[in-house]
Amino acid sequence: MPWKPSVDGEIPTLGYEVLDWITAALAAPDHADYVPFVPYREQEDFILRWYALDPDTGRRRYSRGVLGRPRGWGKSPLLAAIACVEAMGPVVPDGWDAAGQPVGTPWSRVRTPWVQLAAVSEEQTRNTWAPVLEMLRAEAPVHDLVRGLEPMESFVALPNRGRMESITSSARTVKGARAVFAVLDQSEEWVPSNGGVKLATTMRSNAAKVGGTTLESPNAFIPGEGSVAEESAAFHDAILSGRSRDDGLLYDHRESPPETDMTDRESLIAGLRVSYGDSSAHPGGCVLHTPPCSPGHVELDRLVATIWDPAQDVQQSRSDFLNQITHASDAWVSGPEWAARVDLGRALAPGDRVVLGFDGSRGRVRGKADATALIGCRIADGYLFEIGVWEQPAGPAGKGWMPNPLEVDRAVREAFESWRVVGFYADPSGWTEHIAKWEAAFGKRLRVKATQGAPITVWPRGKDARVCHYVEQLRVAIVTGECAHDGAPSLTRHVLNARKRHTRTGYLLYKAYPDSPEKIDAAYAAVMAWKARTDALSQGIGRGGGNGKVLVLS
């Protein structure tokens, strides 16, 4: 029988069965006597999404998941509960019942269940493994539901040779262990130097072979470290921007608003209530649901005291408690700074006066082609927007890929048709012929010119001291709020990828390391668009109405 939604827009999920099993079988950790484990409403919502099914095939919708929350939110108990239900509960789709609703069955009906909880150190594995043992304590009802269950100190023996175990990146047997489910705990700490990236790749491959799943639980990562959490965020971005054929990743990361002021108590409490959600304890109950649910376990006043401790590092507090993905020490713009300038309410209208910035691909690094980016900026209010970013697709589709010049040319011409383009600055490297054609086609229409002889071409002999000034101009505009942007994922990723490298006259933008596959081309295109806007304003092409009058800026 096919899936029958009970209400419009409903998505089939095994989550309801999973939640029933969890609350009926498991003990809540950190209690002297038996108390059933009952997830918060926010945690229930995640479980419903994680166990979503494809209504056509009846298969699990997601093969990978990321649950990003701040320290102390309750990730470890929730993941321990999910690991237990994966080992023993109804998580495998088994068709639809007579009412057209999904039915689940345990892995033991399909294959021997093998569940792993992994981290890159013994101390980290205890974060999730300790709650597992508490949930399976002797008086927990799970022992009545699953006969033959034997919790040990380092593993849990399941009936019919099944097994739950904790492992680290030093485990030698992980390659042959085809776990049906694996937790990748604190994946922001999984980096190439400690074997974390290799371990994650191996565990995902193992799960794929048996139709299993993996679930990460990172805190906020530091961009540029190459962690597993950072790679998963990049995969999520690729899905959003249409650069990935696979969309089987459930990405659930929540952080405090970027405008959270850590020196202002009211603002800080409000930000913490967002990042901690239902787990925060406060008189009004939870933030995420109405009517209010019961307050959680996290005392926000204690967090404020910790954050304001003079010995506490500010950036560490942003990562640990606000769950904000901030920046590397040499980042050009931080995540919160950039996020604070997103303005989705500003709509572009036909005929708006805009300027364009273009940075084209010039070569390949380790087989990956540079990106090509066309970024616009409205003169009236300094609104940056993404017109097109052409990047090599992931996987086999990207082999030998190069940007299609016809697509890029069409995007440029459509921009001139859609808006009043008064300036267009482009880096000529690798695109000299195309830029020459654009200069011939549009040069006379441009009121803002790089030079009279070459109205579009900027820095023809490479980046010099002036470019250092242009880069810093845009950074200051972002930090002070003079600049806003559309939040486009590719532009955002390129801006946050950009690193500062100091020169004798300032600094320029570079990738995190020379061979990095992460691109920054859209960031440079934005720099050129912003420079064109600055030149337009200096020539009297002002913010209002386009009457050509000189505007005196305060």
Contacting residues for 259 by C-beta, under 8 A, at least 6 apart: 267, 340
Segment 496-529, tens digit of pLDDT: 989 998 888 889 999 877 767 789 999 999 999 9
Same domain, 517 and 458: yes
Same domain, 316 and 391: no
**DSSP bridge pairs for 152:** none
Q: Does residue 544 fall inside a structural domain?
A: no
Q: How many other CB atoms are there within 10 angstroms of residue 395's CB atom?
A: 11
Average pLDDT value for the chain: 88
Q: Could you identify the residue written with the tokens 């972002």?
A: 478
Cα–Cα dist 279/77, whole Å: 12
Final residue of a domain: which of 287, 309, 326?
326
Same domain, 306 and 442: no
Top-confidence residue, 424 or 123: 424
Residue 289 has pLDDT above 50, yes or no: no
Confidence of residue 552 (pLDDT cuts 50, 70, 90): very low
Contacting residues for 214 by C-beta, under 8 A, at least 6 apart: 63, 64, 65, 181, 182, 183, 184, 200, 203, 204, 207
Segment 252-264, tens digit of pLDDT: 999 998 888 889 9
Q: Does residue 348 fall inside a structural domain?
A: no
By C-alpha distance, which of 548, 240, 553 is closest to 382?
553
Q: Does residue 550 fall inside a structural domain?
A: no
Question: How many H-runs (helices) and E-runs (strands) does the chain carry?
Answer: 16, 21
Cα–Cα dist 39/50, whole Å: 14
Two tokens at 384? 């940056």
Same domain, 120 and 174: yes
Residue 41 φ/ψ, nearest 5 degrees: -60, -40
Q: Does residue 300 fall inside a structural domain?
A: yes
Cα–Cα dist 111/181, whole Å: 12
Segment 324-370, tens digit of pLDDT: 887 676 889 988 899 999 998 898 999 999 999 999 876 655 556 78
Confidence of residue 14 (pLDDT cuts 50, 70, 90): very high
How far, in whole angstroms, is CA 1 from its chain's centroid? 37
Same domain, 274 and 156: no
Q: Could you identify the residue written with the tokens 């009211």?
A: 266
Q: How many other CB atoms are there within 10 angstroms of residue 29's CB atom?
A: 18
Q: Does residue 3 fall inside a structural domain?
A: no
The pLDDT, as a whole number, for residue 171 is 55
Same domain, 228 and 299: no
CATH number of the domain within which 238 lies: 3.40.50.300
Residue 405 has pLDDT above 50, yes or no: yes
Same domain, 189 and 140: yes
Cα–Cα dist 167/125, whole Å: 7
Same domain, 390 and 461: yes
Two tokens at 265? 């108590």
Segment 84-111, tens digit of pLDDT: 999 999 999 999 998 889 999 999 999 9
CB 541 within 8 A of CB 447: yes
By C-alpha distance, which of 161, 117, 132 is closest to 25?
132
Q: What percent of the chain has pLDDT over 70?
A: 91
CB 410 within 8 A of CB 388: no
By C-alpha distance, which of 186, 490, 502, 477 is closest to 329?
502
Same domain, 169 and 197: yes
Q: What amino acid is encoded at 57 in this protein?
A: T
Confidence of residue 449 (pLDDT cuts 50, 70, 90): very high
Count how many Cα atoms sit within 13 Å of the Cα of residue 169 in the half-sphere of its side chain.
23
**DSSP bridge pairs for 376:** 356, 385
Q: Does residue 260 fall inside a structural domain?
A: no
Give the structural domain span for 296. Answer: 265-326
Q: Does residue 346 fall inside a structural domain?
A: no
By C-alpha distance, which of 194, 192, 196, 218 is closest to 64?
218
| Structural domains counted in the chain | 3
Contacting residues for 529 by C-beta, under 8 A, at least 6 apart: 355, 356, 357, 375, 376, 377, 384, 425
Confidence of residue 554 (pLDDT cuts 50, 70, 90): very low
Tell me the average pLDDT across 120-138: 90
**Quick one: 125 exposed, middle or buried, by C-beta within 10 A (0-12, 13-18, 19+)?**
buried
Is the pTM value of this prediction over 0.85?
no
CB 366 within 8 A of CB 516: no
Residue 50 has pLDDT above 60, yes or no: yes
Q: Does residue 224 fall inside a structural domain?
A: yes
Cα–Cα dist 232/246, whole Å: 13
Confidence of residue 292 (pLDDT cuts 50, 70, 90): very low
Same domain, 139 and 269: no
Same domain, 166 and 299: no
Same domain, 193 and 77: yes
